[in-house]
Amino acid sequence: MNKHHPANNVTPKGDYLKNKNVWLAVTGSVSCVETVGIARELLRYGANVTIVANRAALELVGEKALEFACGKPIIKEITGQVEHVIAGHDADLLIIAPCCATSLGKMVHGIGDNPPMLVALTCIGAKTPMIVAPAMDRNMANSKIIKQNLKEVRKFATVLEPIMVEGKAKLPSKFRITAEACKVAGSNELKKINF
């Protein structure tokens, strides 16, 4: 990243994620418009943020906005650089925010048909710490299938419960997601705190 890029000049709030490689996977929920703010908040705590997005997410939030947020090109396809394999070795933390219902099911059933899911499956195998923040319609969130999928995801990831308002299971705030990231991947003193 260019040293003059605005992503290098965010006002720091702490160093809990200093030198941590945080991969932020973005899937096709309208909540993905919040991802720019999430990425910037992670940067404020010292994280090196890599964004990986699927096609559905990029129909809802612009690629250039995501690139601006983290200060480098996003991963929108898997190339000969095998980006998902790199994630398994490089990532100190994977955050899937938002995680739509479709991606939740794919992750549980091992379907890696897009970049975020390939990264997720590789990180699961590598035992990389993960945070999953589901966001969808309330009726979808209340379905037995989604509840069962979330039960399975809790076996390998921290699940941040959505905020139920306006008939939707909305993404937690960028502050809540970042606080959990600091707890999961940051210093040991934070691991004892319940947010």
Q: Is pLDDT of 182 > 80?
A: yes
Identify the pLDDT of residue 195. Answer: 57
Average pLDDT (124-140) is 96
Burial pattern 144-157, b for ≥16 Cβ within 10 A else e, equals eebeebbeebeebb
Averaged pLDDT score across all residues of the chain? 93
Question: Which residue in 97, 95, 68 sits closest to 162, CA to CA?
Answer: 97
Distance between CA atoms of 1 and 136, rounded to whole angstroms?
Answer: 33
Q: Is pLDDT of 163 > 90?
A: yes
Question: Which residue in 104, 123, 110 sits closest to 21, CA to CA?
Answer: 123
pLDDT in tens, 73-87: 999 999 898 989 899
pLDDT in tens, 81-119: 898 989 989 999 999 999 999 999 999 999 999 999 999
Q: Is pLDDT of 159 > 90?
A: yes
pLDDT in tens, 14-41: 999 999 999 999 999 999 999 999 999 9
> Hey, where are the domains in the chain?
12-186
Identify the pLDDT of residue 194. Answer: 63
Collapsing DSSP to helix, strand or coil, 115 comes out as helix
- Burial class of residue 143 in the structure, from the number of CB atoms within 10 Å of its CB (0-12 exposed, 13-18 middle, 19+ buried): middle
Please give the CATH topology (third level) of the domain spanning 12-186: Rossmann fold (3.40.50)
Does pTM surpass 0.85? Answer: yes
